[in-house]
């Protein structure tokens, strides 16, 4: 691949970023970054990230981090010329695997590695999906050696460059659905130089030692379900815990992630009888809420309804309809394409972003040609539509309170006592 492409195509990365941020605000309830202050300045940085979705985590990293990123991705995506140009324009760098075309295709990695090392020497920021494949369960998969190999290869040519690897954990409340909370935590920097002496003595031992250190650091940042047989029940448990410990839109939820990480560790240590009792109590609570057509919420007998989100939602609804045009167009397009489950949410994100970019971009430019005032009105309407989306989350919370208050006293008391008992059981685990 020719990495000396015209600089003009790299402008696409910076053009897309604001639309990517708007799309995240449209499709997700809360997005929280923690640990950006851990990133050292003035040195090459490699971000090693877990891989729960097809490409949501690279998009969110590129959108929220203060400096532009380059990304290593699978080389088979670069087969066609138009794909190479488009992917290069958003800072993607191919790495080829034997299964992408045999040993001959792997030879192309020489140019990619040469470019990456040169890029890092210029104090660039590089992101790698360290597992090398999508890992949908809440368990960190085995890490590929590529992250450590790139870091130590870079030091071979410039030992004093100060390169660090930043472990990153991306936790999603519902990885396979929109409207969820996303929590990204950046851990403490790992200095590649600490493993360089071992690498010079025995390259593979140095790579393996650094990879293991990275694995431990990444695992510490993630909510982990230790036993595969508990996946379904523990996902339900996490959903209940999140709903009973909600955060309002744009509110911090760092502590909830820490609590849930600890909770999953404790569940993994339970004996089978205790685990069965917990999951049976959880299932009974689920059935109670389903019978009363409720979603989980920290109700109380004096659940007072805030009417301002309801009123504001109806007032902003016309603007929301305008924002909904690219969203539902993207959903319709996606319904015509056969995708594996792991790609559904990521494909919807990309489609909504592209549709919104074309729709609002065309409106802004078209009206702007007539009058700059008209372009400003289009931008205002778009932002009011996005405000509608944000308020709608609060609107649904208030509707839940209304539905709960419509139940008779006995039903409400039963629900509250069941929630209290469940809370006690969970608290005892912590």
CATH of 7-219 given 1.10.3720.10, 3.40.50.300, 3.40.1130.10, 3.90.1010.10? 3.40.1130.10
Which pLDDT score, from 0 to 100, does residue 85 have? 64
204-227: pLDDT as tens digits: 999 999 999 999 999 999 999 989
pTM confidence score: 0.88
Tell me the mean pLDDT in the region 226-233.
Answer: 91
Higher pLDDT, 98 or 259: 259
What token pair was written down for 106?
């792997």
Res. 1 pLDDT band, cuts 50 70 90: very low
97-139: pLDDT as tens digits: 555 554 455 556 666 777 788 888 889 899 999 998 888 889 9
CATH 3.40.1130.10 occupies which residues in the chain? Answer: 7-219
Structural contact between residues 134 and 114, judged by C-beta atoms closer than 8 angstroms: no
Instruction: Give the CA-trace dihedral at 417, 422, 426, 429, to 10 degrees.
Output: 100
Residue 39 pLDDT exceeds 90: yes
């Amino acid at each position: 691949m020719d990495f000396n492409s015209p600089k003009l195509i790299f402008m696409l990365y910076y053009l897309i970023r604001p639309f990517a941020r708007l799309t995240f605000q449209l499709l997700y309830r809360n997005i929280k970054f923690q640990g950006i202050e851990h990133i050292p300045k003035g040195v090459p940085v490699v971000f090693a990230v877990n891989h729960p979705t097809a490409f949501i985590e690279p998009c969110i990293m590129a959108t929220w981090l203060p400096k532009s990123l380059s990304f290593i991705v699978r080389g088979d995506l670069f087969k066609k010329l138009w794909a190479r140009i488009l992917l290069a324009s958003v800072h993607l760098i191919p790495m080829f695997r034997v299964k992408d075309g045999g040993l001959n295709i792997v030879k192309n990695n020489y140019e990619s590695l040469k470019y990456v090392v040169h890029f890092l020497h210029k104090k660039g920021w590089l992101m790698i999906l360290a597992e090398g494949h999508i890992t949908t369960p809440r368990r960190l998969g085995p890490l590929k050696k590529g992250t450590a190999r790139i870091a130590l290869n870079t030091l071979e040519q410039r030992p004093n460059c100060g390169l660090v690897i930043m472990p990153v954990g991306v936790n999603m409340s519902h990885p396979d659905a929109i409207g969820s909370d996303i929590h990204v935590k950046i851990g403490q920097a790992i200095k590649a130089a600490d493993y360089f002496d071992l690498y010079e003595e025995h390259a593979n031992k140095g790579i393996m030692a650094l990879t293991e250190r990275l694995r431990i650091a990444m695992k510490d940042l993630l909510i982990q379900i230790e036993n595969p047989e508990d996946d379904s029940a523990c996902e339900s448990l996490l959903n209940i815990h999140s709903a009973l410990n909600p955060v309002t839109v744009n509110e911090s939820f760092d502590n909830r992630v820490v609590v849930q990480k600890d909770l999953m560790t404790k569940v993994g240590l339970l004996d089978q009888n205790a685990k069965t009792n917990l999951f049976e109590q959880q299932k009974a609570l689920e059935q109670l809420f389903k019978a009363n057509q409720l979603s989980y919420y920290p109700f109380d007998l004096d659940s007072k309804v805030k009417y301002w989100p309801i009123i504001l939602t109806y007032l902003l609804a016309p603007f929301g309809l305008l924002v909904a045009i690219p969203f539902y167009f993207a959903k319709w397009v996606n319904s015509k394409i056969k995708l594996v489950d792991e790609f559904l949410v990521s494909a919807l994100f990309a489609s909504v972003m592209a549709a919104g970019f074309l729709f609002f971009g065309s409106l802004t430019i078209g009206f702007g040609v007539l009058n700059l005032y008209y372009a400003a009105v289009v931008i205002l309407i778009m932002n009011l539509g996005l405000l509608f989306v944000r308020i709608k989350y609060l609107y649904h919370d208030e509707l839940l309170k209304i539905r709960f208050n419509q139940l008779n006293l006995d039903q409400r008391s039963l629900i509250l006592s069941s929630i209290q008992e469940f809370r006690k059981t969970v608290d005892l685990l912590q």
